[in-house]
Amino acid sequence: MEKPDYDIVIIGGGPAGLTAGLYASRARLKTLLLEKMAPGGQALVTDWIENYPGFPEGISGVDLVDKMTEQARRFDLEIETGDVVSLGLGSEAGSDPGLKTIVLQDKTISASAIIIASGASPTPLGAPGEERFFGRGLSFCATCDGPFYKDKVVVAVGGGDTAVQESLFLTRFAKKVYLVHRRDQLRATGILQERILANPKIEILWDCVVSGINGLSNIENIAVENVKTGAQKTIAADGLFVWIGIMPSTSFLNGVAKLDSSNFILTNEKMETSIPGVFAAGDVRSKSLRQISTAVGDAAVAAFSAEHYIESLKS
Amino acid sequence: MSKTIIEVNDDNFDKEILKSDKPVLLDFWAPWCGPCKAIGPVIDGLAADYGDRVTFAKMNVDDNPATPSQYEVRAIPTLMIFKDGKVSEQATGMMPKTKIEDLIKKAL
């Protein structure tokens, strides 16, 4: 058997990838983590995390992933910047199942096992004008862009934890935040619902969707439609923040591993995908609750399963 | 911070950016922005590769309100390439190294 460059290659450097890297490195497996940008993932755009155990006062997303990165590096995890284009999974006829290839833009790396922790990115609204206004009033990141809206009016969209938490953050700057939500109740967890309903700067537009984004070069107003009554309304606003869900980052898979109907990767409880030696962890995986706390749990299991898979190749 | 990246402000923007004889990549950032922090090392790496042909600069939008407002920066990180005093390319948000490299190559 040809010796691969690494025992394990991890794709993605958010909390799941960093945790898989920590476990694999401590198991003394030669491990490389590939990250498109810099370690952190979606946690980097999260203002404040108060449901990750061990930080009773809460912690900023940036600080938490800094600590996770430092902890993984302590055990000699290699971290490289690299954008994965495609994978060779050893399932092709005549190929060695224990030798998988990871194709990057400028080189190809081989490994015995792969852990996919490539995460997800925000789902766009699909409203006309959306692309034109990105960076010109349209944002997916309150911690990045919220301070530009001091004493201005902004519209936020969504009803889950992210939408509610980040809308609350926006009230530190904006004089008024409209929260547009397509249903008549929020999905966000209880304490966040209590906070948003009690915040005088926030007005929730129930049963509504954004039907248009308008402005000359920057956003000037947002068209909103009530899905039950069909009533239209235009809100003069400088910013639009969108948190209606996430899409998995799985394009490099080219359909080789089994996905669910929303393109999240299907695994069993050992985090095994449909391809032997390929594991998935974190937000990219098909599951019911996407949190940092569930991502790191997935990742520990994935690294443990990968270790067993590599041992099985030797016997 | 790398020596090859200059810190510019509202006062020296004209001299360092608009009157630069080389193309300039300007990174608008702020200390409270996670993605800005993440993109920093990527830009450092590119500065090492392209620093001889392109000037790399960064501006803290908290300390320097005039320039971001003049260029309608409403989101960070925002990267702008200035060529002969004018914006030739711009991009906003988290982006992979290859995308930033493409911006630079277009300016060369």
How many secondary structure helices (H) and strands (E) does chain B include? 4, 5
Q: Does B94 touch chain A (CB under 8 A)?
A: yes
For residue A43, the cross-strand partners are: none
* CATH fold of B5-107: Glutaredoxin (3.40.30)
> What is the pLDDT confidence band of residue A91, given thresholds at 50, 70 and 90?
low
Q: Is residue A1 part of a domain?
A: no
Mutation site for A-interface testing, chosen from B94, B95, B102, B103 by largest number of A Cβ within 10 Å: B94
Q: How far apart are alpha carbons B46 and A118 in whole angstroms?
A: 24
Angle between helix axes B97-107 and B34-50 (nearest 10 degrees) is: 50
Q: Do residue B34 and residue A44 have CB atoms under 8 angstroms apart?
A: yes
Distance from B39 to chain A by nearest Cα, in Å?
7
Same domain, A278 and A188: no
pLDDT given for residue B96 in this prediction: 83
| Whether residue A78 is found in the same domain as residue A128 | no
- Mean pLDDT for A153-160 is 98
Residue A190 inside a domain? The answer is yes
Sign of CA dihedral A88, A89, A90, A94: negative
String of DSSP letters for B39-72: HHHHHHHHHHHHTTTSEEEEEETTT--HHHHHTT
Contact call for B76 and A144, based on CB within 8 A: yes
Interface test with B, best of A11, A34, A37, A292 (most B CBs within 10 A): A37
pLDDT score of A88 more than 70: yes
Q: Is the peptide bond before B77 cis (omega within 30 degrees of 0)?
A: yes
Chain B hits for A38, CB-CB cut-off 8 Å, are 37-42
Q: pLDDT by residue (tens digit) across A271-306?
A: 999 999 999 999 999 999 999 999 999 999 999 999
In this prediction, residue A1 carries a pLDDT of 60
Mean pLDDT value across residues B29-33: 89
Residue A94 has pLDDT above 70, yes or no: no
Q: Which of A201, A223, A242 is the last residue of a domain?
A: A242
Asked if pLDDT for residue A144 goes beyond 90, the answer is no
Contact A141 B75 (CB under 8 A): yes
Question: What percent of chain A is modeled with pLDDT above 90?
Answer: 83
pLDDT at B3 over 90: no
**How high is the pLDDT of residue B1?**
43
The answer to whether residue A136 is domain-embedded is: yes
> What range does the domain containing A87 cover?
6-121+246-314
The B residues from 32 to 71 touching A (CB cutoff 8 Å) are 32-42, 45, 62
The residue from A242, A271, A287 where one domain ends is A242
Residue A148 lies inside a defined structural domain of this protein:
yes
Based on the fold, state whether residues A207 and A298 are members of the same structural domain.
no
Q: What is the pLDDT of residue A95?
A: 72
Confidence of residue B2 (pLDDT cuts 50, 70, 90): very low
| CA of residue A148 relative to chain centroid, distance | 24
**Residue from B8, B36, B39, B76 carrying the catalytic annotation:** B36
Domain boundaries, chain B: 5-107
Q: How many domains does chain A have?
A: 2
pLDDT tens-digit readout, A167-224? 999 999 999 999 999 999 999 999 999 999 999 999 999 999 999 999 998 999 999 9
Nearest Cα residue to A243 out of A180, A185, A288: A180
The rounded mean pLDDT for chain A is 94
Q: Is B4 a catalytic residue?
A: no
- Is B26 within 8 Å of B47 (Cβ atoms)? no
Question: How far apart are the C-alpha atoms of A98 and A7, rounded to whole Å?
Answer: 10
Whether residue A136 is found in the same domain as residue A116: no
Interface contact A45-B34, CB threshold 8 A: yes
Query: Rounded to an integer, what distance in angstroms lies between the CA atom of residue A292 and that of residue A52?
Result: 7
Digit-coded pLDDT (tens) for A230-273: 999 999 999 999 999 999 999 899 888 999 999 999 999 999 99
CATH code (residue A182): 3.50.50.60
Is A93 a residue whose pLDDT tops 90?
A: no
What is the ipTM metric for this complex? 0.78
A255 in the same domain as A110: yes
> Do A60 and A199 reside in the same domain of the chain?
no
Segment B65-73 mean pLDDT: 93
Scanning the structure block, which residue is given the tokens 């990165």? Answer: A69
Q: CB distance B35–A141 less than 8 Å?
A: yes
Chain A stretch 74-113, residues whose beta carbon is closer than 8 A to a beta carbon of chain B: 81, 83, 105
Residue after which a domain boundary falls, among A242, A269, A286: A242
**Residues of A whose CB is below 8 A from B45:** 81
Distances (CA, A) of A39 to A78, A272, B5: 12, 24, 22
Question: Do A179 and A35 reside in the same domain of the chain?
Answer: no
Residues A219, A267 within the same domain: no
Q: Is A208 a catalytic residue?
A: no
Task: Return d(Cα A248, Cα B99) in angstroms, integer.
Answer: 20
Which residue is it, tokens 């915040």?
A199
